[in-house]
Amino acid sequence: MFSITTPFKKQKKQKQAQVKPQVQYVGCMRNSRTPKDFFKLLSQACAHYDLTLVYFSPKDVDMDRGTANGKVLVNDEWIKREVDIPRFIDVSNFCYKHRTIMNYLGQVSTLSSERIGSKSKLYKAIKESGSFDHLIIPYITTDSPKEVFEFLFQHQEVILKPKIGKKGEHIYKLTFIDTNEFKVSYETNEQIIDREELISFFTELVTKKKYICQRYIHSYDNNHNPFDCRIRLEKNLEGKWEIAINLVRISSNQKVVSNVAQGGYVSELESFLKVNYPENWETIQNEIIQVGEGLPLHIEKVTGKTLNSLGIDIGIDQDGKPYLFEANTAPGVDYALGEIAMIKSGYYYFMMNRAMHNKNAI
């Protein structure tokens, strides 16, 4: 005689014996220990791929234990959690100042991005490559006031910006008026100074650290506000570059650069070009699209570095000719947050699969 409850008892034991799938942690490392709002969105996008985002800083890495004391999003709240070093870590380039930690992580994990060096090195590499070299603005890199003087006399208007800088800070515009009169513009301020004052200004500024001195490009809209076109890119689910958004950043009160963080607004690319370049807006738009489609791969090629995020800033002169203002390998996430989160999380999935494949192949 048998009991009809036996199969159910066995089934219950089998269910208890089941092992929960291992959590797949993907790392996101920034210098700040406090995640910005964007990372909540990114964490939710990662969940679509069954990935758990762990956010941490270089200071949270424990090399002795092989762990990171990071934060994970649970019920829309960040909670602390110690995890093994993830197989893949999305790294901000600003983290590389922690050299010992970064060298360690490079040995035990796959990192998203590598440093490509200074602006001047990138400009030189593109210029010498023969491709996209038409985008490079004439420039010098110097800590010599005399060289800045000579360059200013040659081009009449120049931009001085730090060799290594961020967010449009410490950028000056110099204008030659006559042999003893010059105009210095910075943020919202302008000042007329004489030759002796300019020499003192150069000595104070450029001898402390190297500056890039570029010919000034008149990238202004019809209201004489400086602007640039930002091409915001991420690598996607297939490991290929994808444009998240093309937009135009217009300054409402800046004298030198289109720093929206210091006052300004943004516009959709096509509508902006139609208003400000009515005769050739389609040609300009196509050129900008071509830059977005080709320049990221070219930058990786000429620098020999692997990247995953880019913000390419393009200026347009009065004739409609585009110029490269900047190629930022640690761009912000001020716009198109949803698009960036979805593209970026797809790339995390791609890289985690590749890391797993490489581990199994060993």
Q: Does pLDDT of 166 surpass 90?
A: no
Q: What is the CATH number of the domain that holds 179?
A: 3.30.1490
Torsion angle of C-alpha atoms 22, 27, 32, 38, degrees rounded to 10: -90
Residue in 87, 90, 85, 95 with CA at minimum distance from that of residue 65? 85
Residue in 232, 211, 228, 210 with CA at minimum distance from that of residue 219? 228
- Domain end among 197, 215, 233: 215
Domain span at residue 86 reads: 20-113
Degrees, nearest 5: CA angle 359-91-39: 105
- Domain end among 162, 190, 215: 215
Pair 234, 289 in one domain? yes
Q: What is the CATH number of the domain that holds 317?
A: 3.30.470.20
pLDDT at 252: 73
pLDDT at 362: 36
pLDDT at 5: 37
Pair 238, 255 in one domain? yes
Using one digit for the tens of pLDDT, what is the confidence trace for 277-295? Answer: 999 999 999 999 999 999 9
Residue 157 near residue 167 (C-beta atoms within 8 A): no
Q: Does pLDDT of 257 surpass 90?
A: no
Question: Does residue 9 lie in a domain region?
Answer: no
Report d(CA 253, CA 92) in Å as an integer.
Answer: 30
Pair 172, 223 in one domain? no
pLDDT band, very low/low/confident/very high, at 259 (cuts 50, 70, 90): low
Question: Does residue 355 lie in a domain region?
Answer: no
Question: Of 2-16, 100-114, 348-362, where does the model show the most confidence?
Answer: 100-114
Q: Which residue has the higher pLDDT, 149 or 229?
A: 229
Q: Are strands 52-56 and 322-328 parallel, antiparallel or unpaired?
A: unpaired
Pair 47, 182 in one domain? no
Question: Does residue 198 lie in a domain region?
Answer: yes
Pair 34, 54 in one domain? yes
* Total tally of structural domains belonging to the chain: 3
Using one digit for the tens of pLDDT, what is the confidence trace for 34-54? Answer: 999 999 999 999 999 999 999
Question: Does residue 347 lie in a domain region?
Answer: no
Degrees, nearest 5: CA angle 347-90-323: 80
pLDDT at 118: 80
Query: What do you get for the CA distance between the two ends of the chain, in Å?
Result: 55
Using one digit for the tens of pLDDT, what is the confidence trace for 17-35? Answer: 454 557 899 999 999 999 9
Pair 127, 199 in one domain? no
pLDDT at 201: 84
Helical ranges in the chain per DSSP H: 6-17, 37-47, 99-108, 119-129, 145-155, 195-206, 269-276, 281-303, 337-361
Report the chain's mean pLDDT, rounded to a whole number: 87
Pair 108, 146 in one domain? no
- Domain end among 79, 113, 147: 113
Residue 164 near residue 149 (C-beta atoms within 8 A): no
Residues of the chain with pLDDT > 90, as a percent, come to 65
Report d(CA 240, CA 232) in Å as an integer.
Answer: 14
DSSP 233-264: EEE-TTS-EEEEEEEEEEESS-SSS--GGGSE
Pair 124, 230 in one domain? yes
pLDDT at 46: 98
pLDDT at 84: 97
Pair 109, 246 in one domain? no
Question: Does residue 301 lie in a domain region?
Answer: yes
pLDDT band, very low/low/confident/very high, at 90 (cuts 50, 70, 90): very high
State the pTM of this model: 0.84
DSSP 275-339: HH-TTTHHHHHHHHHHHHHHHHHHHHHHHT---SEEEEEEEE-TTS-EEEEEEESS---SS-HHH
Report d(CA 324, CA 229) in Å as an integer.
Answer: 10
Pair 123, 251 in one domain? yes
Q: Which residue has the higher pLDDT, 353 or 169?
A: 353
Question: Does residue 228 lie in a domain region?
Answer: yes
Residue 269 near residue 247 (C-beta atoms within 8 A): yes
Pair 129, 224 in one domain? yes
Low-confidence winner among 14-18, 199-203, 299-303 (lowest mean pLDDT):
14-18
Q: Are strands 172-178 and 67-74 parallel, antiparallel or unpaired?
A: unpaired
pLDDT at 168: 59
The two three-digit tokens of residue 99, written as one number: 């050299």
Question: Does residue 343 lie in a domain region?
Answer: no
Question: Does residue 8 lie in a domain region?
Answer: no
Pair 132, 144 in one domain? no
Q: Which residue has the higher pLDDT, 291 or 13?
A: 291
